[in-house]
Structure 1
């Protein structure tokens, strides 16, 4: 599989389906045939198919033009780059004409096949009350080979750099996949530069210990060898992209894996949308399009990051066993003694099941019990605990309360200098 040919063939298949949808949409719109009721279905099928496959290669916009302030006025939100790096940037959602909020929150987005815009609703919910920063990871196919590798250690060091850039008066929220690496970044700072540690760390639905409660994801990780993964999942970026020749885990393969877990649900949603479009009931921003425009927009991961995640986080459980190393140096979680840590899990989470994230609190043996907190949201799935109704109504207030309870006396928010 590690060939440009397979990568380009997969892209060609996607392109062909997009073209087929466009063709059927045009065919169904032909005036001479439009009188036939069946043509409405043909046109609708074309519209939904074209949109579906076009979204797979489009990076979504943040789409946050303004928010309403306490003065009742709309304030424009501008995206400001704080740190620019080859594999990802640290960005700030700067609200014009508003005094900076005292709560400074760094959202660490997953690098798991989707763009950071997957956390758009999370950002929107926090903006009125917080200064929000987020890790904006880049599509690996757009990163030249000359930029070098990017694995779990590099990810951890990126998070360390971002924390240092924002200063110690900071609260970090890690969503899903990066939870163990953000915990490792905090422990790394505890050993190397304690004053740069954030005030609090909230871990949401992350695999700190994948063996704590099995899911299809963990079962898959245990059932395949690293050689099988490398041969079947890794491809080399084709000639149409800046990252030509880079080894990646393609986003389209990741999307196929995601959708196969709930194939009947996605099939039903597609069919229902076709009939809705045929009846003239579909719209640009209806519930289906809003969800799938984001869900279908996927990005490639660096091969070394994907493989090292499976090998070291899932198979080797290096974080769970306190045996994680960065640049040859042991990251000792026992050294985390001052950062308040809260874990959040969904009762019905089929990606990172309850117990996997909670394991972080047992791992932090040097942290006083009063600095630890956890919450399991009844009836919530994976998406709901950071962007759905459960997040908005229950979890968000709890997280903000946890941040406030661990803010303490104001500390300088300037970047922390190297010691």
Structure 2
């Protein structure tokens, strides 16, 4: 109960600050005060508005906000978000552009489970939608998952990816962003051994810690310096009374946010101070740059304790992926078994989270893959966020990734997606030759 009480205490502090912001804004905006203009009251109202919005966003999952897009026919088409696979800890969703012909390129974006929601990749999705059918892993907030659903560690995460790839079939092109890069590589190798025909067509790994020790950063140094006992004692708490996951052991999102903010405390402090004065001058708006960024940045989610701890212990401390010693469900994965999935790595020159050298290490692990099916790119001047969002991604990296996908399209894999293979397997064996199963034919 000690940890549950701590979780509830953090939520109480957050809720109190949200209330203080709302109260300050309401009181300072009282019409009677306008009779005697006072700069301090204007500042108080602006502070309250910014504070209330900030603390409110910390427990709210952002909306995708992708409602329509203009296609090549010059018309605006509605975009609907359709679940393809629904699971306790995460879903596979599809951005369905209504009224548009199905695109040949099919892309699965593997979103990180590192404190933020998959909506962090909203701009990445928007940039890819005009040229591809886009799917993404939408991970759930651990605080909302009942304890009865069981554990979720990096092996479970990997098996989720395996199932998602099977569902979408071998013509899918996988792009893993940041944290899931090593587990996506492992999932592909796992498929190469147990179900080769279900492997994706291409695999692009963006800024992921395949070999964290290749180029040490503050993140890797922290992973090596702290003990697992210290991590469990300091970072892990039990979900409080307010949520469905009551009692589940998690690394709380609010605690993660504290770490995120402390890494660049001076810059964040200045950003909020500037926003308060913009609100005072009437220069701020609902969707200005500050609000767009911090509405997403402040929205954090809890991670299951076993996922966080196993990531630190097995990926960073033991280096199981880097040493090709990763085990999934009792099966030792051999990355060298990947022989017909083209692999590309993308790194940012100024990435201080997953520094250059950590991700490109994946190519050396793919010993069974011909050199012509390997590629790498180092983006000059780009930081961690810039290699999957912003101008570096839009103008430089995205075209290279699409060219890589096109150059390796139509590989030797001719299998169908899992759902279609299942339907084909269910076809009656005694059907007369020359008379196709209309149900199966129509589904294809």
Paired residues for 1:38-53 under 5 Å: 38-53=40-55
Q: Residue 168 of structure 1 contacts residue 415 of structure 1 at CA under 8 Å; is this kept in 2?
A: no
Give the match for residue 150 of structure 1: 152
Q: Residue 171 of structure 1 contacts residue 201 of structure 1 at CA under 8 Å; is this kept in 2?
A: yes
Q: Residue 2 of structure 1 contacts residue 247 of structure 1 at CA under 8 Å; is this kept in 2?
A: no
Query: How far apart, CA to CA, are the structure 2 residues paired with 1:343 and 1:188?
Result: 19
SS in 1 for 2:57: helix
Q: 1:2 to 1:374 in 2, by over 3 A?
A: farther
Unpaired runs of at least 5, structure 1 = none
Residues 1:307 and 2:309 aligned together? yes
Shift of 1:141: 0.2
Query: How far apart, CA to CA, are the structure 1 residues paired with 2:159 and 2:237?
Result: 26
SS in 1 for 2:103: coil
TM-score calculated relative to the size of structure 1:
0.98
Q: 1:373 to 1:274 in 2, by over 3 A?
A: same
Q: CA RMSD in A?
A: 1.3
Residues 1:105 and 2:110 aligned together? no
Q: Residue 205 of structure 2 contacts residue 344 of structure 2 at CA under 8 Å; is this kept in 1?
A: yes
Q: Give the one of 300, 306, 315 matched to 1:298.
A: 300
Residues 1:19 and 2:14 aligned together? no
Give the match for residue 418 of structure 2: 415
- If you compute each CA radius of gyration, which structure gives the higher value, 1 or 2? 2
SS in 2 for 1:183: helix
Query: How far apart, CA to CA, are the structure 2 residues paired with 1:365 and 1:2?
Result: 49
Between stretches 405-414 and 109-118, larger displacement belongs to 405-414
Shift of 1:36: 1.2
Query: How far apart, CA to CA, are the structure 1 residues paired with 2:38 and 2:266?
Result: 30
Give the match for residue 195 of structure 1: 197
Shift of 1:311: 0.2
Paired residues for 1:233-248 under 5 Å: 233-248=235-250
Paired residues for 1:240-279 under 5 Å: 240-279=242-281
Q: Residue 197 of structure 2 contacts residue 415 of structure 2 at CA under 8 Å; is this kept in 1?
A: no
SS in 1 for 2:418: coil
Q: Residue 59 of structure 2 contacts residue 299 of structure 2 at CA under 8 Å; is this kept in 1?
A: yes
1:4-24 Cα deviation digits (max 9, x unpaired): 100000000000110111111
Give the match for residue 9 of structure 1: 9
Query: How far apart, CA to CA, are the structure 1 residues paired with 2:280 and 2:272?
Result: 13
Give the match for residue 161 of structure 1: 163
Give the match for residue 324 of structure 1: 326
Q: Give the one of 203, 206, 216 matched to 2:208.
A: 206
Q: Residue 181 of structure 2 contacts residue 205 of structure 2 at CA under 8 Å; is this kept in 1?
A: yes
Give the match for residue 351 of structure 1: 353
Give the match for residue 88 of structure 1: 90
Query: How far apart, CA to CA, are the structure 1 residues paired with 2:330 and 2:270?
Result: 49
Q: Residue 345 of structure 1 contacts residue 385 of structure 1 at CA under 8 Å; is this kept in 2?
A: yes
Query: How far apart, CA to CA, are the structure 2 residues paired with 1:71 and 1:314?
Result: 48
Q: Residue 176 of structure 1 contacts residue 205 of structure 1 at CA under 8 Å; is this kept in 2?
A: yes
Query: How far apart, CA to CA, are the structure 2 residues paired with 1:157 and 1:140?
Result: 18
SS in 2 for 1:173: strand
The number of residues matched between the two structures is 419
